[in-house]
Chain A
Amino acid sequence: MKMKEPGHNHCYHTQIEGAGVFPALFVSLCLKSKFAIREWSAYIVAATTYFMQHFPLGFKNKKGCLSVVLPILVSVLIHTELQAQADSTVTFALGYYGNNLWNTGLSFDTDYIFRSVSYLDNKGRTRVKQRSAHVLLGGYSDPYNYDARFVQAGFRYRVIKRQKSKGLVYPVLGVNPLGIYRSFLPSTYSVSPQGTISKVFIPGRWYYSPSVSAGLVKAKAIDNPTGFFARIHLMALVPYNTYILPLLNIEVGYQFHFLLRRK
Protein backbone atom coordinates (compact mmCIF):
# COMPACT_ATOMS: atom_id res chain seq x y z
CA MET A 1 0.00 0.00 0.00
CA LYS A 2 1.38 3.44 -0.94
CA MET A 3 0.10 6.70 0.30
CA LYS A 4 0.73 9.95 -1.49
CA GLU A 5 1.38 13.18 0.29
CA PRO A 6 -1.56 15.13 1.61
CA GLY A 7 -2.97 17.87 -0.56
CA HIS A 8 -4.02 20.11 2.29
CA ASN A 9 -4.90 19.89 5.95
CA HIS A 10 -7.07 16.89 6.82
CA CYS A 11 -7.31 15.94 3.18
CA TYR A 12 -5.42 12.98 1.78
CA HIS A 13 -5.24 11.32 -1.60
CA THR A 14 -4.67 7.66 -1.03
CA GLN A 15 -3.71 5.13 -3.64
CA ILE A 16 -3.91 1.51 -2.69
CA GLU A 17 -2.14 -1.19 -4.64
CA GLY A 18 -3.89 -4.50 -4.73
CA ALA A 19 -7.46 -3.26 -4.54
CA GLY A 20 -9.58 -5.49 -2.36
CA VAL A 21 -6.95 -5.99 0.28
CA PHE A 22 -8.15 -3.06 2.28
CA PRO A 23 -11.30 -1.93 0.45
CA ALA A 24 -13.11 -0.62 3.47
CA LEU A 25 -10.19 1.55 4.49
CA PHE A 26 -9.91 2.88 0.93
CA VAL A 27 -13.55 3.95 1.02
CA SER A 28 -13.19 5.61 4.35
CA LEU A 29 -10.12 7.58 3.36
CA CYS A 30 -11.99 8.88 0.36
CA LEU A 31 -14.47 10.45 2.76
CA LYS A 32 -12.35 13.56 3.09
CA SER A 33 -13.44 15.75 5.90
CA LYS A 34 -12.25 18.84 7.66
CA PHE A 35 -13.67 17.54 10.89
CA ALA A 36 -11.42 15.20 12.77
CA ILE A 37 -14.34 13.47 14.41
CA ARG A 38 -15.74 12.41 11.06
CA GLU A 39 -12.30 11.30 9.98
CA TRP A 40 -11.91 9.18 13.08
CA SER A 41 -15.32 7.69 12.56
CA ALA A 42 -14.39 6.77 9.02
CA TYR A 43 -11.25 5.00 10.14
CA ILE A 44 -13.07 3.08 12.82
CA VAL A 45 -15.86 2.03 10.50
CA ALA A 46 -13.35 1.00 7.86
CA ALA A 47 -11.13 -0.98 10.14
CA THR A 48 -14.05 -2.60 11.90
CA THR A 49 -15.46 -3.67 8.57
CA TYR A 50 -12.14 -5.12 7.55
CA PHE A 51 -11.63 -7.06 10.73
CA MET A 52 -15.19 -8.29 10.85
CA GLN A 53 -14.71 -9.61 7.31
CA HIS A 54 -11.44 -11.36 8.05
CA PHE A 55 -12.07 -12.41 11.64
CA PRO A 56 -15.83 -12.92 11.68
CA LEU A 57 -16.08 -13.92 15.30
CA GLY A 58 -18.19 -11.00 16.47
CA PHE A 59 -19.25 -11.34 20.07
CA LYS A 60 -20.08 -15.01 19.65
CA ASN A 61 -17.10 -16.00 21.74
CA LYS A 62 -14.47 -14.25 23.82
CA LYS A 63 -11.91 -14.20 21.04
CA GLY A 64 -14.45 -12.30 18.98
CA CYS A 65 -13.82 -9.23 21.11
CA LEU A 66 -10.52 -8.98 19.21
CA SER A 67 -12.38 -8.11 16.05
CA VAL A 68 -13.91 -5.13 17.78
CA VAL A 69 -11.04 -3.83 19.90
CA LEU A 70 -8.24 -4.33 17.37
CA PRO A 71 -9.80 -2.17 14.63
CA ILE A 72 -10.18 0.70 17.02
CA LEU A 73 -6.53 0.47 17.98
CA VAL A 74 -5.55 0.17 14.34
CA SER A 75 -7.63 3.25 13.60
CA VAL A 76 -5.69 5.24 16.14
CA LEU A 77 -2.41 4.10 14.61
CA ILE A 78 -3.56 4.98 11.09
CA HIS A 79 -4.83 8.33 12.21
CA THR A 80 -1.57 9.14 13.94
CA GLU A 81 0.43 8.07 10.94
CA LEU A 82 -1.56 10.15 8.51
CA GLN A 83 -1.68 13.18 10.75
CA ALA A 84 2.06 12.96 11.23
CA GLN A 85 2.41 13.76 7.56
CA ALA A 86 1.15 17.21 8.34
CA ASP A 87 3.28 19.83 10.05
CA SER A 88 2.95 18.46 13.52
CA THR A 89 4.62 17.48 16.78
CA VAL A 90 5.08 13.80 17.41
CA THR A 91 6.97 12.30 20.30
CA PHE A 92 8.26 8.78 20.64
CA ALA A 93 8.99 7.59 24.12
CA LEU A 94 10.83 4.60 25.48
CA GLY A 95 10.62 3.74 29.10
CA TYR A 96 10.85 1.37 31.99
CA TYR A 97 7.39 0.03 32.75
CA GLY A 98 7.05 -1.51 36.16
CA ASN A 99 4.04 -3.30 37.52
CA ASN A 100 4.09 -2.59 41.27
CA LEU A 101 7.49 -1.00 40.65
CA TRP A 102 9.48 -4.22 40.74
CA ASN A 103 7.90 -6.39 38.03
CA THR A 104 10.13 -5.11 35.28
CA GLY A 105 9.00 -4.20 31.81
CA LEU A 106 9.37 -1.85 28.88
CA SER A 107 7.07 0.57 27.13
CA PHE A 108 7.01 2.31 23.78
CA ASP A 109 4.75 5.26 23.26
CA THR A 110 3.93 7.52 20.33
CA ASP A 111 2.09 10.73 21.04
CA TYR A 112 0.65 13.19 18.54
CA ILE A 113 -0.35 16.69 19.70
CA PHE A 114 -3.48 17.57 17.77
CA ARG A 115 -4.42 20.71 19.64
CA SER A 116 -2.22 23.37 21.22
CA VAL A 117 -3.62 26.68 22.51
CA SER A 118 -1.58 29.55 23.98
CA TYR A 119 -3.14 32.18 26.20
CA LEU A 120 -2.31 34.70 28.92
CA ASP A 121 -3.45 34.04 32.46
CA ASN A 122 -4.65 36.72 34.92
CA LYS A 123 -1.07 37.66 35.77
CA GLY A 124 -0.08 38.06 32.16
CA ARG A 125 1.94 34.84 31.98
CA THR A 126 1.83 32.66 28.92
CA ARG A 127 0.25 29.29 29.30
CA VAL A 128 -0.21 26.53 26.79
CA LYS A 129 -2.88 23.88 26.85
CA GLN A 130 -2.24 20.81 24.74
CA ARG A 131 -4.26 17.77 23.85
CA SER A 132 -2.75 14.74 22.24
CA ALA A 133 -3.62 11.26 21.12
CA HIS A 134 -1.27 8.41 21.82
CA VAL A 135 -0.71 4.72 21.50
CA LEU A 136 1.22 2.86 24.18
CA LEU A 137 2.70 -0.59 23.71
CA GLY A 138 4.09 -2.20 26.79
CA GLY A 139 4.84 -5.33 28.68
CA TYR A 140 6.23 -6.56 31.93
CA SER A 141 7.20 -9.75 33.60
CA ASP A 142 6.10 -10.99 36.97
CA PRO A 143 8.95 -13.50 37.24
CA TYR A 144 7.12 -15.88 39.58
CA ASN A 145 3.77 -15.85 37.85
CA TYR A 146 3.26 -14.55 34.34
CA ASP A 147 4.28 -12.14 31.58
CA ALA A 148 1.99 -9.49 30.15
CA ARG A 149 1.80 -7.49 26.92
CA PHE A 150 -0.67 -4.77 26.19
CA VAL A 151 -1.65 -2.03 23.77
CA GLN A 152 -3.52 1.06 24.87
CA ALA A 153 -4.80 4.13 23.06
CA GLY A 154 -6.18 7.36 24.39
CA PHE A 155 -5.65 11.02 25.02
CA ARG A 156 -3.39 13.21 27.11
CA TYR A 157 -3.91 16.70 28.47
CA ARG A 158 -1.17 19.14 29.45
CA VAL A 159 -1.10 22.65 30.90
CA ILE A 160 2.33 24.22 30.45
CA LYS A 161 3.48 27.43 32.11
CA ARG A 162 6.11 29.17 30.02
CA GLN A 163 9.28 29.64 32.04
CA LYS A 164 12.18 31.97 31.45
CA SER A 165 14.74 29.56 32.83
CA LYS A 166 16.06 26.76 30.69
CA GLY A 167 13.77 23.75 30.61
CA LEU A 168 10.36 23.28 32.11
CA VAL A 169 8.43 20.70 34.08
CA TYR A 170 4.73 20.22 33.49
CA PRO A 171 2.03 17.74 34.49
CA VAL A 172 0.35 15.38 32.05
CA LEU A 173 -2.95 13.64 32.64
CA GLY A 174 -3.98 10.76 30.44
CA VAL A 175 -6.96 8.56 29.85
CA ASN A 176 -6.84 5.36 27.82
CA PRO A 177 -10.38 4.14 27.16
CA LEU A 178 -9.09 1.59 24.70
CA GLY A 179 -6.77 -1.15 25.73
CA ILE A 180 -6.17 -4.81 25.30
CA TYR A 181 -3.99 -6.91 27.58
CA ARG A 182 -2.73 -10.47 27.25
CA SER A 183 -1.23 -12.45 30.07
CA PHE A 184 1.20 -15.23 29.22
CA LEU A 185 1.31 -18.01 31.76
CA PRO A 186 3.95 -20.68 32.31
CA SER A 187 3.14 -24.34 31.54
CA THR A 188 -0.61 -24.68 31.90
CA TYR A 189 -2.58 -27.90 32.00
CA SER A 190 -6.27 -27.88 31.23
CA VAL A 191 -8.52 -30.38 32.97
CA SER A 192 -11.87 -30.97 31.30
CA PRO A 193 -15.03 -31.86 33.27
CA GLN A 194 -14.50 -35.42 32.02
CA GLY A 195 -11.03 -35.44 33.56
CA THR A 196 -9.05 -35.24 30.32
CA ILE A 197 -5.76 -33.39 30.73
CA SER A 198 -4.13 -31.42 27.95
CA LYS A 199 -1.34 -28.89 27.80
CA VAL A 200 -2.59 -25.43 26.81
CA PHE A 201 -0.99 -23.86 23.72
CA ILE A 202 0.25 -20.31 24.46
CA PRO A 203 -1.55 -20.18 27.79
CA GLY A 204 -2.88 -16.92 29.11
CA ARG A 205 -5.90 -14.67 29.11
CA TRP A 206 -7.16 -11.65 27.20
CA TYR A 207 -8.53 -8.71 29.13
CA TYR A 208 -10.01 -5.36 28.25
CA SER A 209 -7.63 -2.92 29.94
CA PRO A 210 -8.56 0.77 30.14
CA SER A 211 -6.39 3.00 32.29
CA VAL A 212 -5.84 6.49 33.61
CA SER A 213 -2.44 8.04 34.15
CA ALA A 214 -0.83 11.06 35.75
CA GLY A 215 2.76 12.17 35.43
CA LEU A 216 5.37 14.79 34.89
CA VAL A 217 7.52 15.69 31.91
CA LYS A 218 10.82 17.52 32.12
CA ALA A 219 11.14 19.03 28.69
CA LYS A 220 13.53 21.47 27.04
CA ALA A 221 10.88 23.85 25.76
CA ILE A 222 7.23 24.00 24.85
CA ASP A 223 7.95 23.38 21.21
CA ASN A 224 10.66 20.84 22.03
CA PRO A 225 9.25 18.28 24.47
CA THR A 226 12.35 16.07 24.38
CA GLY A 227 13.19 14.99 27.90
CA PHE A 228 12.50 12.65 30.79
CA PHE A 229 9.06 11.71 31.97
CA ALA A 230 7.50 9.74 34.80
CA ARG A 231 3.94 8.49 34.96
CA ILE A 232 1.74 6.44 37.26
CA HIS A 233 -0.87 4.27 35.55
CA LEU A 234 -3.94 2.81 37.16
CA MET A 235 -5.04 0.04 34.85
CA ALA A 236 -8.07 -2.20 35.16
CA LEU A 237 -8.34 -5.73 33.80
CA VAL A 238 -11.92 -6.65 32.91
CA PRO A 239 -13.33 -9.23 33.38
CA TYR A 240 -10.85 -10.70 35.83
CA ASN A 241 -12.06 -13.81 37.62
CA THR A 242 -15.63 -12.81 38.44
CA TYR A 243 -15.10 -9.04 38.52
CA ILE A 244 -12.17 -6.72 37.90
CA LEU A 245 -8.51 -6.33 38.85
CA PRO A 246 -6.78 -2.94 39.25
CA LEU A 247 -3.07 -2.75 38.53
CA LEU A 248 -0.76 -0.01 39.71
CA ASN A 249 2.04 0.57 37.23
CA ILE A 250 4.82 3.10 36.93
CA GLU A 251 6.56 4.30 33.81
CA VAL A 252 9.83 6.22 33.68
CA GLY A 253 11.56 7.03 30.46
CA TYR A 254 12.77 9.42 27.85
CA GLN A 255 10.79 10.94 25.01
CA PHE A 256 12.16 12.07 21.66
CA HIS A 257 10.61 14.89 19.75
CA PHE A 258 10.13 15.07 16.02
CA LEU A 259 8.71 18.06 14.24
CA LEU A 260 7.30 16.69 11.03
CA ARG A 261 6.93 19.32 8.33
CA ARG A 262 4.48 18.92 5.53
CA LYS A 263 6.05 19.05 2.11
Chain B
Amino acid sequence: MKHIFRPIILLCLVIPLAFSCVQETPGVLNETIYVRHEGADMPAYVHGNASEKVFILVVHGAGSFGLAFRSGTFTSELEKRYAVVYWDQRGQSMSQGHYSKPEDIISLMADDMMALVQVLRFKYGEDIKLFVLGHSWGGALSATALIDPVNQSLITGWIEMDGAHDFRLAGTARRRLILNTAAEQIALGNQPEAWEEIQTTVTGLDSLPGDDYREMLRQAQQAVRLLVEDDQAEPSAISSEELSRTVFENNPITWKVSDLFNKPFIYARDIDYSVSDQLAQIRIPSLLLWGKYDISVPPTVGYDAYRRLSSSDKKLVIFDRSVHHPYDTEKDLFAAEVIDFVERVK
Protein backbone atom coordinates (compact mmCIF):
# COMPACT_ATOMS: atom_id res chain seq x y z
CA MET B 1 0.00 0.00 0.00
CA LYS B 2 3.01 2.27 0.37
CA HIS B 3 2.94 3.16 -3.30
CA ILE B 4 -0.64 4.39 -2.97
CA PHE B 5 0.37 7.32 -0.76
CA ARG B 6 2.80 8.94 -3.17
CA PRO B 7 0.22 9.78 -5.82
CA ILE B 8 -2.27 10.88 -3.18
CA ILE B 9 0.28 13.32 -1.76
CA LEU B 10 1.08 14.47 -5.28
CA LEU B 11 -2.58 15.10 -6.03
CA CYS B 12 -3.06 16.95 -2.75
CA LEU B 13 -0.27 19.28 -3.80
CA VAL B 14 -1.50 19.74 -7.34
CA ILE B 15 -5.27 20.12 -6.96
CA PRO B 16 -5.11 23.38 -4.95
CA LEU B 17 -3.09 24.88 -7.79
CA ALA B 18 -6.07 24.39 -10.05
CA PHE B 19 -8.15 26.74 -7.99
CA SER B 20 -7.65 30.37 -7.24
CA CYS B 21 -9.73 33.12 -5.78
CA VAL B 22 -9.98 36.80 -6.55
CA GLN B 23 -11.09 39.38 -4.04
CA GLU B 24 -13.77 41.57 -5.57
CA THR B 25 -14.01 45.30 -4.90
CA PRO B 26 -17.31 47.13 -5.54
CA GLY B 27 -17.24 49.03 -8.83
CA VAL B 28 -13.99 47.43 -9.91
CA LEU B 29 -14.19 45.02 -12.82
CA ASN B 30 -11.83 42.07 -13.26
CA GLU B 31 -13.38 39.79 -15.81
CA THR B 32 -12.88 38.14 -19.14
CA ILE B 33 -15.64 37.99 -21.70
CA TYR B 34 -15.56 36.62 -25.22
CA VAL B 35 -17.22 38.06 -28.28
CA ARG B 36 -18.29 35.67 -31.02
CA HIS B 37 -18.48 37.31 -34.41
CA GLU B 38 -18.22 35.80 -37.89
CA GLY B 39 -16.62 32.55 -36.70
CA ALA B 40 -14.14 34.07 -34.26
CA ASP B 41 -14.25 33.99 -30.45
CA MET B 42 -12.26 36.98 -29.25
CA PRO B 43 -11.42 37.65 -25.58
CA ALA B 44 -11.85 41.05 -23.97
CA TYR B 45 -10.20 41.46 -20.58
CA VAL B 46 -12.06 44.12 -18.62
CA HIS B 47 -10.20 45.64 -15.69
CA GLY B 48 -10.55 48.78 -13.67
CA ASN B 49 -12.93 51.21 -12.11
CA ALA B 50 -16.34 51.21 -13.80
CA SER B 51 -18.07 53.41 -11.24
CA GLU B 52 -18.28 56.34 -13.66
CA LYS B 53 -19.17 54.04 -16.57
CA VAL B 54 -16.17 55.24 -18.57
CA PHE B 55 -14.57 52.49 -20.65
CA ILE B 56 -11.37 52.65 -22.71
CA LEU B 57 -11.17 49.99 -25.41
CA VAL B 58 -7.55 49.23 -26.33
CA VAL B 59 -7.06 48.10 -29.94
CA HIS B 60 -3.59 46.60 -30.08
CA GLY B 61 -1.02 46.82 -32.83
CA ALA B 62 0.29 44.20 -35.24
CA GLY B 63 1.77 41.12 -33.62
CA SER B 64 0.74 42.29 -30.18
CA PHE B 65 -2.13 41.36 -27.86
CA GLY B 66 -4.51 43.18 -25.55
CA LEU B 67 -2.89 42.36 -22.23
CA ALA B 68 0.50 43.57 -23.50
CA PHE B 69 -0.75 47.04 -22.60
CA ARG B 70 -1.79 46.12 -19.08
CA SER B 71 1.19 47.46 -17.18
CA GLY B 72 2.70 50.81 -16.24
CA THR B 73 0.27 53.71 -16.46
CA PHE B 74 -2.56 51.52 -17.72
CA THR B 75 -2.73 49.78 -14.35
CA SER B 76 -1.38 52.53 -12.09
CA GLU B 77 -3.37 55.46 -13.55
CA LEU B 78 -6.03 54.55 -16.09
CA GLU B 79 -7.52 51.49 -14.37
CA LYS B 80 -7.85 53.48 -11.14
CA ARG B 81 -10.17 55.92 -12.88
CA TYR B 82 -11.72 53.97 -15.72
CA ALA B 83 -12.52 50.46 -16.90
CA VAL B 84 -9.99 49.43 -19.53
CA VAL B 85 -10.92 46.76 -22.07
CA TYR B 86 -7.94 44.84 -23.47
CA TRP B 87 -9.09 43.05 -26.61
CA ASP B 88 -7.39 40.30 -28.63
CA GLN B 89 -8.31 40.73 -32.26
CA ARG B 90 -9.43 37.98 -34.64
CA GLY B 91 -6.68 35.43 -35.23
CA GLN B 92 -4.43 37.11 -32.66
CA SER B 93 -3.13 35.74 -29.40
CA MET B 94 -5.92 34.01 -27.41
CA SER B 95 -8.68 34.44 -29.99
CA GLN B 96 -9.99 31.16 -31.34
CA GLY B 97 -12.66 29.81 -33.66
CA HIS B 98 -13.12 28.38 -37.14
CA TYR B 99 -13.37 30.52 -40.24
CA SER B 100 -11.92 30.69 -43.70
CA LYS B 101 -9.50 33.44 -44.61
CA PRO B 102 -11.64 36.47 -45.42
CA GLU B 103 -11.16 38.51 -48.59
CA ASP B 104 -11.38 41.86 -46.85
CA ILE B 105 -9.78 41.18 -43.49
CA ILE B 106 -9.54 44.86 -42.55
CA SER B 107 -13.25 45.59 -42.85
CA LEU B 108 -14.07 42.37 -41.03
CA MET B 109 -11.75 43.24 -38.15
CA ALA B 110 -13.24 46.72 -37.96
CA ASP B 111 -16.66 45.05 -37.74
CA ASP B 112 -15.26 42.83 -34.97
CA MET B 113 -14.33 45.94 -33.03
CA MET B 114 -17.83 47.33 -33.39
CA ALA B 115 -19.27 43.94 -32.35
CA LEU B 116 -17.27 44.26 -29.14
CA VAL B 117 -18.55 47.82 -28.70
CA GLN B 118 -22.12 46.54 -28.99
CA VAL B 119 -21.44 43.78 -26.46
CA LEU B 120 -19.92 46.26 -24.00
CA ARG B 121 -23.01 48.45 -24.30
CA PHE B 122 -25.25 45.39 -23.97
CA LYS B 123 -23.45 44.11 -20.88
CA TYR B 124 -22.55 47.33 -19.06
CA GLY B 125 -25.36 49.59 -20.21
CA GLU B 126 -26.25 51.78 -23.17
CA ASP B 127 -25.16 54.81 -21.13
CA ILE B 128 -21.47 53.89 -20.91
CA LYS B 129 -18.98 56.40 -22.26
CA LEU B 130 -16.71 54.47 -24.53
CA PHE B 131 -13.32 55.66 -25.75
CA VAL B 132 -11.36 53.73 -28.38
CA LEU B 133 -7.56 53.78 -28.10
CA GLY B 134 -5.91 52.34 -31.21
CA HIS B 135 -2.17 51.79 -31.31
CA SER B 136 -0.29 51.36 -34.61
CA TRP B 137 -2.26 48.73 -36.60
CA GLY B 138 -5.04 49.26 -34.07
CA GLY B 139 -5.11 52.89 -35.20
CA ALA B 140 -5.81 51.74 -38.75
CA LEU B 141 -8.57 49.40 -37.56
CA SER B 142 -10.24 51.96 -35.32
CA ALA B 143 -10.05 54.63 -38.05
CA THR B 144 -11.66 52.20 -40.51
CA ALA B 145 -14.51 51.54 -38.09
CA LEU B 146 -15.02 55.18 -37.15
CA ILE B 147 -15.38 56.63 -40.64
CA ASP B 148 -18.91 55.20 -40.46
CA PRO B 149 -21.11 57.86 -38.77
CA VAL B 150 -23.33 55.18 -37.24
CA ASN B 151 -20.32 53.68 -35.50
CA GLN B 152 -19.21 57.13 -34.33
CA SER B 153 -22.54 57.55 -32.57
CA LEU B 154 -21.58 54.68 -30.24
CA ILE B 155 -18.15 56.08 -29.35
CA THR B 156 -17.48 59.06 -27.08
CA GLY B 157 -13.92 59.74 -28.17
CA TRP B 158 -11.09 58.39 -30.34
CA ILE B 159 -7.48 58.17 -29.22
CA GLU B 160 -5.01 57.25 -31.94
CA MET B 161 -1.49 56.44 -30.84
CA ASP B 162 1.11 56.12 -33.62
CA GLY B 163 -1.72 54.83 -35.83
CA ALA B 164 -0.98 53.23 -39.17
CA HIS B 165 -4.08 54.43 -40.99
CA ASP B 166 -2.05 55.37 -44.09
CA PHE B 167 0.56 52.80 -45.12
CA ARG B 168 1.75 54.68 -48.21
CA LEU B 169 2.33 57.92 -46.33
CA ALA B 170 4.02 56.00 -43.50
CA GLY B 171 6.40 54.42 -46.02
CA THR B 172 7.53 57.66 -47.62
CA ALA B 173 7.63 59.52 -44.31
CA ARG B 174 9.75 56.75 -42.77
CA ARG B 175 12.53 57.26 -45.25
CA ARG B 176 12.37 61.03 -44.80
CA LEU B 177 12.36 60.77 -41.00
CA ILE B 178 15.44 58.54 -40.95
CA LEU B 179 17.34 60.93 -43.24
CA ASN B 180 16.26 64.01 -41.29
CA THR B 181 17.12 62.39 -37.97
CA ALA B 182 20.50 61.34 -39.32
CA ALA B 183 21.23 64.93 -40.42
CA GLU B 184 20.09 66.23 -37.03
CA GLN B 185 22.26 63.78 -35.08
CA ILE B 186 25.31 64.37 -37.27
CA ALA B 187 24.92 68.09 -36.60
CA LEU B 188 24.78 67.35 -32.88
CA GLY B 189 27.94 65.25 -33.16
CA ASN B 190 26.24 62.06 -31.95
CA GLN B 191 28.03 59.06 -33.51
CA PRO B 192 28.38 60.79 -36.90
CA GLU B 193 30.05 57.84 -38.63
CA ALA B 194 27.23 55.46 -37.77
CA TRP B 195 24.59 58.00 -38.83
CA GLU B 196 26.41 58.71 -42.10
CA GLU B 197 26.37 55.00 -42.85
CA ILE B 198 22.62 54.91 -42.26
CA GLN B 199 22.21 58.03 -44.38
CA THR B 200 24.11 56.48 -47.28
CA THR B 201 22.20 53.19 -47.13
CA VAL B 202 18.73 54.72 -46.78
CA THR B 203 19.34 57.20 -49.60
CA GLY B 204 19.65 54.25 -51.96
CA LEU B 205 16.48 52.54 -50.76
CA ASP B 206 12.99 52.77 -52.20
CA SER B 207 10.43 53.98 -49.67
CA LEU B 208 7.57 51.89 -51.03
CA PRO B 209 6.85 48.28 -49.99
CA GLY B 210 9.02 45.95 -52.01
CA ASP B 211 12.48 44.48 -52.04
CA ASP B 212 13.88 47.32 -49.94
CA TYR B 213 11.30 47.05 -47.17
CA ARG B 214 13.27 44.74 -44.90
CA GLU B 215 16.47 46.70 -45.32
CA MET B 216 14.59 49.90 -44.52
CA LEU B 217 13.28 48.35 -41.29
CA ARG B 218 16.79 47.16 -40.42
CA GLN B 219 18.12 50.67 -40.87
CA ALA B 220 15.21 52.00 -38.80
CA GLN B 221 16.11 49.65 -35.96
CA GLN B 222 19.71 50.76 -36.15
CA ALA B 223 18.61 54.40 -36.01
CA VAL B 224 16.50 53.75 -32.92
CA ARG B 225 19.41 51.98 -31.26
CA LEU B 226 21.67 54.99 -31.86
CA LEU B 227 19.04 57.41 -30.54
CA VAL B 228 18.71 55.42 -27.33
CA GLU B 229 22.50 55.12 -26.95
CA ASP B 230 22.87 58.90 -27.27
CA ASP B 231 20.06 59.54 -24.80
CA GLN B 232 17.86 61.17 -27.42
CA ALA B 233 15.04 58.66 -26.88
CA GLU B 234 13.86 56.56 -23.96
CA PRO B 235 14.42 52.80 -24.28
CA SER B 236 11.29 50.66 -24.42
CA ALA B 237 12.02 48.12 -21.71
CA ILE B 238 9.90 45.12 -20.78
CA SER B 239 8.85 45.33 -17.14
CA SER B 240 8.43 42.27 -14.93
CA GLU B 241 4.70 43.03 -14.87
CA GLU B 242 4.57 42.98 -18.66
CA LEU B 243 6.64 39.81 -18.81
CA SER B 244 4.33 38.13 -16.33
CA ARG B 245 1.29 39.07 -18.42
CA THR B 246 2.97 37.81 -21.57
CA VAL B 247 3.95 34.46 -20.16
CA PHE B 248 1.31 33.57 -17.59
CA GLU B 249 -1.88 35.46 -18.45
CA ASN B 250 -1.33 35.16 -22.14
CA ASN B 251 -0.21 31.88 -23.64
CA PRO B 252 3.09 32.77 -25.38
CA ILE B 253 3.04 29.79 -27.76
CA THR B 254 -0.54 30.46 -28.80
CA TRP B 255 0.27 34.13 -29.23
CA LYS B 256 3.29 33.58 -31.47
CA VAL B 257 1.73 30.81 -33.57
CA SER B 258 -1.45 32.83 -34.09
CA ASP B 259 0.69 35.77 -35.13
CA LEU B 260 2.57 33.56 -37.57
CA PHE B 261 -0.60 32.46 -39.35
CA ASN B 262 -2.52 35.74 -39.19
CA LYS B 263 -0.78 38.90 -40.31
CA PRO B 264 -3.48 41.30 -41.51
CA PHE B 265 -1.09 44.25 -41.52
CA ILE B 266 0.95 42.57 -44.27
CA TYR B 267 -2.16 42.55 -46.43
CA ALA B 268 -2.70 46.22 -45.56
CA ARG B 269 0.92 47.04 -46.37
CA ASP B 270 0.81 45.22 -49.68
CA ILE B 271 -2.26 47.13 -50.86
CA ASP B 272 -0.97 50.46 -49.47
CA TYR B 273 -4.04 50.66 -47.26
CA SER B 274 -5.15 54.18 -46.41
CA VAL B 275 -8.22 55.81 -44.88
CA SER B 276 -6.70 59.29 -44.91
CA ASP B 277 -9.11 60.51 -47.55
CA GLN B 278 -12.03 59.49 -45.35
CA LEU B 279 -10.76 60.89 -42.05
CA ALA B 280 -12.79 64.04 -42.69
CA GLN B 281 -15.88 61.96 -41.91
CA ILE B 282 -14.74 61.56 -38.31
CA ARG B 283 -16.37 64.24 -36.18
CA ILE B 284 -16.07 62.85 -32.67
CA PRO B 285 -13.47 64.28 -30.23
CA SER B 286 -10.05 62.91 -31.13
CA LEU B 287 -6.67 62.80 -29.45
CA LEU B 288 -3.61 61.93 -31.55
CA LEU B 289 -0.47 60.78 -29.70
CA TRP B 290 2.80 60.33 -31.58
CA GLY B 291 6.42 59.60 -30.78
CA LYS B 292 8.81 62.12 -32.33
CA TYR B 293 11.17 59.35 -33.43
CA ASP B 294 8.50 56.83 -34.44
CA ILE B 295 10.15 55.39 -37.52
CA SER B 296 7.45 52.70 -37.89
CA VAL B 297 4.64 55.22 -38.31
CA PRO B 298 6.26 58.68 -38.44
CA PRO B 299 4.61 61.77 -36.92
CA THR B 300 3.93 63.02 -40.45
CA VAL B 301 0.98 60.59 -40.47
CA GLY B 302 -0.27 62.16 -37.24
CA TYR B 303 0.06 65.73 -38.58
CA ASP B 304 -1.80 64.66 -41.72
CA ALA B 305 -4.60 63.08 -39.66
CA TYR B 306 -4.88 66.15 -37.45
CA ARG B 307 -5.31 68.33 -40.54
CA ARG B 308 -7.96 66.09 -42.07
CA LEU B 309 -10.17 65.30 -39.05
CA SER B 310 -13.46 67.21 -38.89
CA SER B 311 -13.66 66.98 -35.12
CA SER B 312 -14.17 70.28 -33.37
CA ASP B 313 -12.29 68.88 -30.37
CA LYS B 314 -8.98 67.48 -31.64
CA LYS B 315 -5.44 67.56 -30.32
CA LEU B 316 -2.08 66.23 -31.50
CA VAL B 317 0.61 65.54 -28.90
CA ILE B 318 4.20 64.73 -29.94
CA PHE B 319 6.29 62.87 -27.40
CA ASP B 320 9.82 64.26 -27.80
CA ARG B 321 11.66 61.29 -26.31
CA SER B 322 9.57 58.45 -27.67
CA VAL B 323 9.72 56.07 -30.61
CA HIS B 324 6.66 53.84 -31.24
CA HIS B 325 5.44 53.21 -27.69
CA PRO B 326 4.94 56.56 -25.91
CA TYR B 327 2.71 54.88 -23.32
CA ASP B 328 5.74 52.90 -22.29
CA THR B 329 8.53 55.46 -22.66
CA GLU B 330 6.87 58.67 -21.44
CA LYS B 331 4.31 57.17 -19.10
CA ASP B 332 3.43 60.20 -17.04
CA LEU B 333 2.85 62.48 -20.02
CA PHE B 334 0.82 59.76 -21.76
CA ALA B 335 -1.40 59.23 -18.71
CA ALA B 336 -1.85 62.99 -18.20
CA GLU B 337 -2.91 63.56 -21.81
CA VAL B 338 -5.33 60.62 -21.88
CA ILE B 339 -6.91 61.51 -18.53
CA ASP B 340 -7.22 65.16 -19.53
CA PHE B 341 -8.92 64.16 -22.79
CA VAL B 342 -11.32 61.68 -21.18
CA GLU B 343 -12.25 64.05 -18.37
CA ARG B 344 -12.92 66.85 -20.83
CA VAL B 345 -15.03 64.77 -23.21
CA LYS B 346 -16.84 62.20 -21.10
Contact = CB atoms under 8 A, between A and B. Distances in A.
Interface of A: 62, 94, 96, 99-100, 102-106, 141-146, 183, 185-191, 193, 195, 197, 200, 203, 205, 226, 228, 239-248, 253-254
A185 to B, nearest CB: 5
A96 B118 CA distance: 40
A65 to B, nearest CB: 11
B61 to A, nearest CB: 19
Given A94-B11, A104-B18, A253-B7, A191 B34 contact: no
B43 interface: yes
A241 B96 contact: yes
A188 B35 contact: yes
Given A104-B14, A106-B18, A144-B248, 6 more contacts: A96-B14, A144-B32, A185-B34, A189-B33, A200-B34, A242-B101
B7 A183 contact: no
A243 B248 CA distance: 24
A95 to B, nearest CB: 9
A222 B249 CA distance: 42
B269 interface: no
A262 B23 CA distance: 56
Nearest to B88: A145
Nearest to A254: B7
28 contacts: A96-B14, A102-B248, A105-B18, A106-B18, A144-B45, A144-B248, A144-B249, A145-B43, A183-B96, A187-B31, A188-B34, A188-B36, A189-B33, A189-B35, A189-B122, A189-B123, A190-B35, A190-B37, A191-B36, A193-B38, A200-B34, A241-B91, A242-B99, A242-B261, A245-B257, A245-B258, A246-B257, A254-B3
Contact of A203 (B36, B95, B101, B118): B36
A216 to B, nearest CB: 16
* Chain A at the B interface: SS class: strand
A191 B101 contact: no
Nearest to B11: A94
B253 A247 contact: yes
Interface string B1-35: 00100110011001101101000000000011111
A145 to B, nearest CB: 5
A163 B3 CA distance: 21
B251 interface: yes
Interface size class of B (residues with CB under 8 A): 35 or more
B122 A197 contact: yes
A260 B226 CA distance: 72
A145 B10 contact: no
Contacts of B6: 228, 254
A106 B100 CA distance: 33
Contacts of B33: 186-189
Contacts of B34: 185-189, 200, 203
A193 B36 CA distance: 11
B250 interface: yes
A169 to B, nearest CB: 16
Interface string B249-266: 111111001100110000
B7 A197 contact: no
Contacts of A187: 31, 33-34
A104 B13 CA distance: 12
